[in-house]
Amino acid sequence: MRIFSGIQPTGTKHLGNYIGAITQYVAGQDRGEAIYCIVDLHALTVAYDPADLRAGLYDLLAVLLAAGLDPGRCVLFRQSDVREHTELTWLLSSVTSYGELTRMTQFKDKAGSARELATAGLFFYPVLMASDVLAYRAQEVPVGDDQRQHVELMRDVAQRFNARFGDTLVVPEHRIPAVGARIMDLQHPENKMSTTTGSLEGTVYVTDEPAAIEKKLKRAVTDSGSEVRRGEEKPGVTNLIEILAAVRGQTPEQVEDAMRDTRYGELKGAVAAAVIDYLAPVRERYSELRADEGNLETILADGAERAREIAGETLADVRDRMGVGAPNRVLPTR
């Protein structure tokens, strides 16, 4: 089983990122050949500061390592260090339709009403994401629920390529966590917890101090009534139950049973204590890892070398199938 996933180095990573993606990455090291990419090229599709981008990449890498990613057990690299991603993106554009890209929800959301002013990079983002995965012939893609549409597109692209040029690319499957796939903003539980658009008070960051975590969770919005249970009319309580279930490794039903006779305040306290314990190992390791940027660059360079070996083979096969460049065989001498 080959597993691939990418994560953007923008913003400070929060509890939703940790539950929905990072913990899956760590578990993937025990389930198969795990390949993880910090996708800095994707971060160029919206306005950004170059210095912040570099700093954010190191911040993210330190969090991933602190969470348990081991460069000896997985391939961990920076997207821009492996140029096969961008070349494959152009090649796969020949089997991706304009109509498909116009229907992508993420483009609509990020472009907003100023769609005519959105960058071509933002529009083309899903093709680069497809190339990220298809370059490694990965069978599985751990993603959050909001990325389901992107995985469907890359599946369509792979199938279309294979139908036209012959079996070359692996059609991947998504892996979405059963619990905690969508952690919501604590102040606006109708919205997903977000690095860029969420509220500061409603977002628990992975590196938050215990006091900050407790304060945010104890101020979390709840709902009318007093019963601790999930329901469409109780988005705040439902979110707290989902969080507690995810960090305890339980089902939401088990949490509901355990908290049935408690009040909202007790629920918030239990969630705060559980989240503080859950994130403590990462917070304790993070600072030491983040301080050594030389070591972080060494890890990225080693990972990129290993990634290029895999992606290079796929790219050579794709070029050969498409009739691009010299044939992928030894040519006779004249």
- Model pLDDT for residues 256-268, shown as the tens digit of each residue: 998 888 889 999 9
Domains of the chain with CATH codes: 2-175+293-322 (3.40.50.620), 210-288 (1.10.240.10)
Radius of gyration of the chain (CA): 21
Torsion over CA: 44, 47, 49, 54 (sign):
negative
Contact status, residue 241 vs residue 252, Cβ threshold 8 Å:
yes
Q: Is the pTM above the cut of 0.85?
A: yes
The pLDDT value recorded for residue 314 is 97
The pLDDT value recorded for residue 276 is 97
The pLDDT value recorded for residue 113 is 63
Paired sense of beta strands 33-38 and 74-78, if any: parallel
Query: What is the distance between the alpha carbons of residues 91 and 327, in angstroms, rounded to a whole number?
Result: 16
Which stretches of the chain score pLDDT less than 50? 331-334
C-alpha distances (whole Å) from 161 to each of 165, 167, 228, 272, 319 are 6, 8, 50, 48, 12
Contact status, residue 253 vs residue 26, Cβ threshold 8 Å:
no
Closest CA relative to residue 21, chosen from 197, 143, 180, 134: 143
Closest CA relative to residue 76, chosen from 134, 35, 119: 35
The pLDDT value recorded for residue 176 is 79
**Helices 120-134/84-92 angle, 10° precision:** 110
- H-type helices in the chain, by residue range? 15-17, 23-31, 50-67, 84-92, 98-102, 105-111, 120-134, 148-165, 210-218, 235-248, 252-258, 264-291, 293-322
Query: What is the distance between the alpha carbons of residues 310 and 111, in angstroms, rounded to a whole number?
Result: 34
The residue length of the chain stands at 334
Query: What is the distance between the alpha carbons of residues 312 and 84, in angstroms, rounded to a whole number?
Result: 6
Closest CA relative to residue 8, chosen from 52, 36, 39: 39
Distance of CA 205 to the CA centre of its chain: 15
List the structure tokens of 79.
């997207």
The pLDDT value recorded for residue 165 is 96
